[in-house]
Amino acid sequence: MSARVLITGGAGFLGLHLAKHLWKDGCDLCLVDNLTRGVDDPEFNQFLSNKRTTFIEADLLSIDQTISLGVDFDFIFHLAAIVGVRHVQDQPYNVLVKNTRMLENVITLARMQKREPRLLFASTSEVYAGTLEHFGLTIPTSESAPLALTGLHLPRSSYMLSKLMGEAMVKQSGLPFTIFRPHNLYGSRMGNVHVIPEQLRKAYETDAGGSVVVYSPEHTRAFCFIDDSVEMLQRMMLREGCAGRTLNLGSQTPEVTMRHVAEICIEVSGKELLIEEFAPTPGSPPRRAPDMTLTNDLLDYQAAVGLRSGIEQTWEWYCSNVFESGGISAE
């Protein structure tokens, strides 16, 4: 296909994987990032060497820098945000204000395009947290589940609130849109503080016969490998039936415990290690898994990479690019 695609947060984990996938399908790409979470590493620079990709280092909090990105985009993926539990806990006010302001500026940019673009907005599975806390939640959870708020005084609520506000802004913008709610995506180049790379790092650094710590060992998640995630996003972009929709992004099965994830990470490391169980992480929901019925039907696709295979591929990348070389990774 021939399409001009803008990806904000293009130097980050999801952004670069998505760019590579769309590039293989013939898209012309413009990646935008301020490099506070995305990184200017060899993998990123190697990709930028192709002729159909440009990179612009810009601050989306600046309306002038945002509207200078161009007016010839067919699709805009807005992935840029302050994200991650550590960042959210440390700066909840900035999360609320800056995530909303960045989206406001991107919507302004989208309205300036020569051809009306589709805006694809990255929301979060955290939007379901309030319903789970106050009323219980059917799991796997569908996009139609009523949404409730967690306590507004809680720093962790700020990220979910910024994304709920974002969903409302996108729906009221007058633009063609698709909203997607990622659920536990994982793979290479995703930073070191997410559960799978963190458990892989622990396995790498622990001597045989030692033990690794697992928090929230009985909490469950359904994980989705990055290759499946970007295939779904490409199909969301191309299919008219996804316009005006809010869709889960992820894998419905298997739903596994954090202990089981750690066991797989230990197995792929090839070491004999013990597991030391610690208390649940504050604010962590006991279960999370998306109902993928609507997404799978619209896309004619469902996740194909098994959890062990995905963790093996992630292990190989981290060993080569981070653990053994001391390299950096996007967050």
- Residue-wise pLDDT tens digits, 136-146: 899 999 999 99
Please report which confidence band the pLDDT of residue 89 belongs to, taking 50, 70 and 90 as the band edges: confident
Please give the mean pLDDT across all residues of the chain: 95
**Residue 283 confidence class, pLDDT cut points 50, 70, 90:** confident
- Give a yes or no: residue 213 inside a domain: no
Residue with tokens 């006991």: 286
- In order of 13, 71, 72, 163, 187, the CA distances from 9 in angstroms are 9, 18, 19, 15, 17
Residue 80 phi/psi, 5-degree rounding, is -70, 135
- Taking CA atoms, 294 is separated from 9, 119, 181, 194, 245, in Å, by 27, 20, 13, 27, 10
Bond into 254 cis (ω within 30): yes
Pick the closest to residue 272 from 207, 323, 195, 214 (CA basis). 207
Model confidence at 85, pLDDT cuts 50, 70, 90, reads: confident
Query: In this prediction, what percent of the chain has a pLDDT beyond 70?
Result: 100
**Residues pairing with 212 in the sheet:** 275
**Does residue 209 lie in a domain region?**
no
- Comparison of pLDDT for 5 and 330, the residue scoring more: 5
Is 104 inside a domain boundary?
yes
Query: Which residue range forms the structural domain that includes residue 69?
Result: 4-190+225-250+290-305
Angle, vertex CA 279, rays to CA 275 and CA 284, nearest 5: 110
**CATH number reported for the structural domain that contains residue 35 in this entry:** 3.40.50.720
Q: Where does the pLDDT of residue 329 fall: very low under 50, low under 70, confident under 90, or very high at 90 and above? A: confident
User: What is the Cα–Cα distance from 184 to 321, expressed in whole angstroms?
Assistant: 22
**Token couple for 118:** 């589709």
DSSP result, 142-179: PTTS---PPPTTSTTHHHHHHHHHHHHHHHHSSS-EEE
User: Is residue 176 domain-resident?
Assistant: yes
Q: How confident is the model at residue 58 (pLDDT cuts 50, 70, 90)?
A: very high
**Residue 1 pLDDT exceeds 70:** no
> Is 160 a residue whose pLDDT tops 80?
yes
Kindly state whether residue 328 falls inside one of the protein's structural domains: no
CA distances from 5 to 53, 73, 151, 273 (A): 10, 6, 37, 45
Give domain status of residue 277, yes or no. Answer: no
How far is residue 170's CA from residue 20's CA, in Å, rounded to a whole number? 26
**Mean pLDDT confidence for 112-140:** 96
Residue 319 lies in a domain: no
pTM of the model: 0.96
Percent of the residues in the chain that have a pLDDT greater than 90, as a whole number: 90
Decide if 160 is inside a domain.
yes
In terms of DSSP bridges, do strands 4-8 and 220-222 run parallel, antiparallel, or are they unpaired? unpaired
User: Does 86 have pLDDT greater than 80?
Assistant: no
Tally of domains within the chain: 1
Q: Quick one: pLDDT band at residue 84, thresholds 50, 70, 90?
A: confident
Instruction: Give pLDDT, residue 72.
Output: 97
